[in-house]
Amino acid sequence: MAQVTRPRDCEGNRGQMILLMGVVLAVMFVALALLVNAAIYTDNVATRGGDPAGEALEYQNGVVDSVSGLLAEENNQAGGTTATDIEPAIEKIGDTHRQYHLRRAAMAETTTDRVYEGLLIEQTDSGGLANWNLNDAESVRSFEITFEPGEMPQLNLTTDEPFEIDVGESKRYVYINEDNPGDLVVAESVGNPICTADASADEVRFDVTGGRFGGSSCDTGWPGADVDGLSFSNGENAVGTYELTVKGTNIDSDDPPPDTTTIIYDVDLTLQITTPELRYERSVTVVPEGVDA
């Protein structure tokens, strides 16, 4: 009779294949579980995070808006504000913003590098324009002159000297040529007009820094950054009013402007913000809000 039973010493080898496959399948299931977990985690990460620039931009714009508003308010009051007056207020603004961002794990530091004083120069009573000279003018903004062409003389350009605005590097002339009495002109050099306006109008506004003359564009980019001193000459050949804000305070005492007020022209700040991800530092020049510089 055949032996149909396995010898006793072979019993331990049975089921090895099933066991091996079980282990292999278990490993595969674990790998699948890890992959599913990775997919879920990835989708979760995809919805996280925010704008890394948001905190820094919020801080930067907050400080600039606050200081800009402060300068505007100080200048709009009676004027006469000096750098010494404004620095503690800027420091207070910096402290307020630092406290706010500190609560959001961001270290913000505002440093005042320099406060530039300037002058608001204006002539509000209509009449012949005064001649004056500001030796240390570096920049100008909000520069507007309102001419009254009907009151202005018609000039013979070979003998008369037209009204002249000199910013050191270049000049502009505004006049009515007797050979062309219908036009009030702006010229880069006498006899070469670049912009014209109707001389029969009651008033012609020349927005020097805004680049408009008599309601039309006269945008030549002048004076731009090329200001090195500022003066009015031959003002007796122009009639009207004007207002401008100048960076500089050194008035030629022999030729002073008619009405001046000390103001804060602009402020240089260094802004620094540090978060766990971001370190950002920049210098910035803050001007009073609403200016056209």
Contacts with another protein, residue ranges (CB under 8 A) = 1-2, 4, 17-18, 21, 24-25, 28, 31-32, 34-36, 38-39, 42-43, 45-46, 49, 51-54, 56-57, 60-61, 64, 276-287, 293
For the bound state, the minimum distance from the C-beta of residue 57 to another protein, rounded and expressed in Å, comes to 6
Give the closest residue to 262 by CA, choosing from 254, 271, 251: 251
User: Do residues 255 and 131 make contact, with C-beta atoms less than 8 angstroms apart?
Assistant: yes
Phi/psi for 195 (5° steps) reads -145, 145
Instruction: Report CA 196 to chain centroid distance, whole Å.
Output: 31
For the bound state, the minimum distance from the C-beta of residue 51 to another protein, rounded and expressed in Å, comes to 6
The number of beta carbons lying within 10 Å of the beta carbon of residue 46 is 8
24 vs 102, beta carbon nearer another protein: 24
42 vs 124, beta carbon nearer another protein: 42
For the bound state, the minimum distance from the C-beta of residue 280 to another protein, rounded and expressed in Å, comes to 5
Query: What dihedral angle (degrees, nearest 10) is formed by the CA atoms of 15, 16, 21, 26?
Result: 90
151 vs 292, beta carbon nearer another protein: 292
41 vs 189, beta carbon nearer another protein: 41
Residues 6+ apart with CB under 8 A from 117: 82, 83, 249, 262, 263, 264, 265
152 vs 287, beta carbon nearer another protein: 287
Burial of residue 132 (CB within 10 Å: 0-12, 13-18, 19+) is buried
For the bound state, the minimum distance from the C-beta of residue 165 to another protein, rounded and expressed in Å, comes to 21
For the bound state, the minimum distance from the C-beta of residue 18 to another protein, rounded and expressed in Å, comes to 7
47 vs 158, beta carbon nearer another protein: 47
130 vs 284, beta carbon nearer another protein: 284
Give the span between the Cα atoms of 213 and 206, in whole angstroms: 4
For the bound state, the minimum distance from the C-beta of residue 287 to another protein, rounded and expressed in Å, comes to 7
For the bound state, the minimum distance from the C-beta of residue 105 to another protein, rounded and expressed in Å, comes to 14
User: Going by DSSP bridges, is the β-strand pair 154-155/132-134 parallel, antiparallel, or unpaired?
Assistant: unpaired
For the bound state, the minimum distance from the C-beta of residue 175 to another protein, rounded and expressed in Å, comes to 32
202 vs 277, beta carbon nearer another protein: 277
Strand residue runs (E) in 70-162: 107-128, 132-134, 139-147, 154-155
Q: How far is CA 287 from CA 108, 176, 260, 269, 281, in A?
A: 21, 36, 19, 11, 19
